[in-house]
Amino acid sequence: MGVESGDDWEYRFCPSEFCKVEVWLVTRHDLKAELWRVTAGAGNRPWIVAAIGPVCPYCGESLLTAVELEEGIGQSTDEDQEEGPLFEFLETLAV
């Protein structure tokens, strides 16, 4: 059961620099709204992933469209950083 030609497969990209696969093929599962079929290529068997949107089966990151990847959507910025004494303490542990 690989990629069937009648399905609406889309290219998605994993934004993680640690992921094994950069480009994925994804399609919504036929039977359930929050199930996705995700595969690394046409000859590979797909994973069934339960999620609101398609996620990388290796690292769990949300898979992005080419437009989202180009615009940097889904990537953290300095503005996304939490503030407060607890987070400042956690930052000292990370160093």
* Per-residue pLDDT reduced to its tens digit, 45-83: 999 999 999 999 998 999 999 888 888 765 555 555 566
Structure confidence by residue, pLDDT tens digits, 84-93:
676 677 777 7
68 within 8 A of 74, measured Cβ to Cβ: yes
Helix (H, G, I), strand (E, B) or coil at 89: helix
The pLDDT value recorded for residue 47 is: 93
Q: Going by DSSP bridges, is the β-strand pair 35-39/10-13 parallel, antiparallel, or unpaired?
A: unpaired
Angstrom distance (rounded) from CA 3 to CA 46: 8
